[in-house]
Structure 1
Amino acid sequence: MTQTPKRPSLATLRENLRTVSDPQDPQLIALQADPRKGAQQLVATIQRRLARQAAAEAAFQERLHYERRFWERNLVVAGIDEVGRGPLAGPVVTSAVILPPDFDVPLVNDSKQLTPQERERLYPIILERAQAVSIGAASSATIDQLNIYQATRLAMQRAVLGLGLAPDHLIVDAMQIPVALPQTRLIKGDAKSASVAAASIVAKVYRDHLMVSYDRIYPGYGFAKNAGYGTAEHLAGLDKLGVTPIHRRSFSPVRQRITD
């Protein structure tokens, strides 16, 4: 009497198919014929995961639309973004990133769309795989002297000039940078350009780390949690402890506490 071969356990199948990336993978095709309820649930789970991955890859390829226009002409393009225009304390930080034409990390997106854990995981990947990365910053004193808009432009200029590789073109999130280079300005550029998205992640993580350091120097304001934004804890710290050297004295909540 011929015995029916014993099917692998669902735990074994789940482990074997954990890294499947092709909907036509023979193992996945075979699993679709497995009549067990658990097997069909596993098929559905894998298919949903593959669909999400395909959608993420398609969205990422769309975010490379602007870069490809320059890569096809062998031009070097840099994406630039900023973080920290709204806080009451700390610098405004910008980043310029030049990605290689073979860059393929679909999770790279507008930093605001990512969790802190995702940003931390992507930060070293971008630093490793980018052709060039630079940081530019403008201190709270510079912000008070120039105003936040002009200080941001200055920080972006510093980021561009700090790149070790000279770009032929810039993609910028909505601003005009005072450098003699052609620029494509995009509204919500960090959601439309992978280079700008990469810059937004680098700038965000860099500034968050900086504010954690400031929290150790100036405890009582919650900088490690609020990154200098005007949270209730931060405002209570201002009322109790006063203004620090990293506070933006031209910003109304800080200015009011100086003059009161």
Structure 2
Amino acid sequence: MAEYNALTSVLIAGVDEVGRGALFGPVVAAAVILSEDSIAELTRAGVKDSKKLTPGVRSRLAREIQAIAIDCKIGWASVREIDRFNILQATLLAMKRAISKLNPQPGLCLIDGNQKIPQLLIPQQTIIKGDSTSIVIAAASIVAKVWRDELITRLDAKYPQYDLKQNKGYGTAKHRQAIQEHGITSQHRQSFGCCQLSLPL
């Protein structure tokens, strides 16, 4: 994990998204600002790319991150926005919304991936696979993943036929089969190929 220059007083935010490849639900981003001390503490606690952690560990670490971060905010883009703008633009919009809520505002944003956020007035740096190399991006990936998973799990009660509690909105075989059998809901992304074949419920 990358450490940041302790000699600078610039606040650095890590920014990451989750749900970009899902068929159902919003795309969600988190922006996290950590102090030097909290970076060290979270490194010891095992913070790393959220995809490499079990759900239980992710949930525990998300609570720890939120408890000790200078600030931590969520932003999202709705299914309607995904269908209107496309998933890339919706993802960048979710990231921008998360950053805009931070207080204090950071002096630099580290963005996971290779796409800069349009019209962001704060300096930004993209880092490919940043959730594997930057502790603040990894922290953001964990917070975003836990927040979105909890949202999709709550929606499972409304749409039980889609197995959302297990697939979190991603296109598993069981989810795709349910779309074929039951059609799509208002929370399915109609701009995504397999969701175009079925009428909304």
Structure with more contact order per residue of length (Cα contacts < 8 Å, sep ≥ 6): 2
1:136 correspondence with 2:75: yes
Provide the residue aligned with 2:33 in structure 1.
Answer: 98
Aligned partner (choices 49, 67, 80) of residue 15 of structure 2: 80
Provide the residue aligned with 1:181 in structure 2.
Answer: 122
Provide the residue aligned with 1:204 in structure 2.
Answer: 145
1:237 correspondence with 2:183: no
Question: Larger C-alpha radius of gyration, 1 or 2?
Answer: 1
In the TM superposition, what is the alpha-carbon distance from 1:64 to its structure 2 partner?
3.5
> What 5-or-longer segments of structure 2 have no aligned partner?
none
Higher helix proportion (structure 1 or 2):
1
Aligned residues: 194
Q: Cα deviation per residue 1:56-109 (whole Å; 9 max; x = unaligned)?
A: xxxxxxx232xx23x421110000000000011000000000001101122010
- Report the AA paired with residue 182 of structure 2: L
Q: Cα deviation per residue 1:10-55 (whole Å; 9 max; x = unaligned)?
A: xxxxxxxxxxxxxxxxxxxxxxxxxxxxxxxxxxxxxxxxxxxxxx
Which aligned pairs between 1:142-157 and structure 2 lie closer than 5 A? 142-157=81-96
In the TM superposition, what is the alpha-carbon distance from 1:256 to its structure 2 partner?
2.3
Provide the residue aligned with 1:228 in structure 2.
Answer: 169
- Report the AA paired with residue 143 of structure 1: I
> What 5-or-longer segments of structure 1 have no aligned partner?
1-62
Q: Distance in 2 between matches of 1:215 and 1:233?
A: 14
In the TM superposition, what is the alpha-carbon distance from 1:113 to its structure 2 partner?
1.1
Q: Distance in 2 between matches of 1:64 and 1:133?
A: 19
Structure 1 segments, 4+ long, off by >2 Å, are 256-259
TM-score (norm 1): 0.72
Which aligned pairs between 1:165-176 and structure 2 lie closer than 5 A? 165-174=104-113, 175-176=115-116
Q: Distance in 2 between matches of 1:206 and 1:72?
A: 33
In the TM superposition, what is the alpha-carbon distance from 1:183 to its structure 2 partner?
1.0
Q: What percentage of residue pairs aligned between the two structures are identical?
A: 45
2:160 is paired with a residue whose SS is coil
Provide the residue aligned with 2:101 in structure 1.
Answer: 162
Which aligned pairs between 1:241-256 and structure 2 lie closer than 5 A? 241-256=182-197
- Report the AA paired with residue 144 of structure 2: A
Q: Distance in 2 between matches of 1:258 and 1:176?
A: 35
Q: Which moved more, 1:86-95 or 1:101-110?
A: 101-110
TM-score (norm 2): 0.93
Q: Which moved more, 1:178-187 or 1:244-253?
A: 178-187
Q: Distance in 1 between matches of 2:116 and 2:132?
A: 18
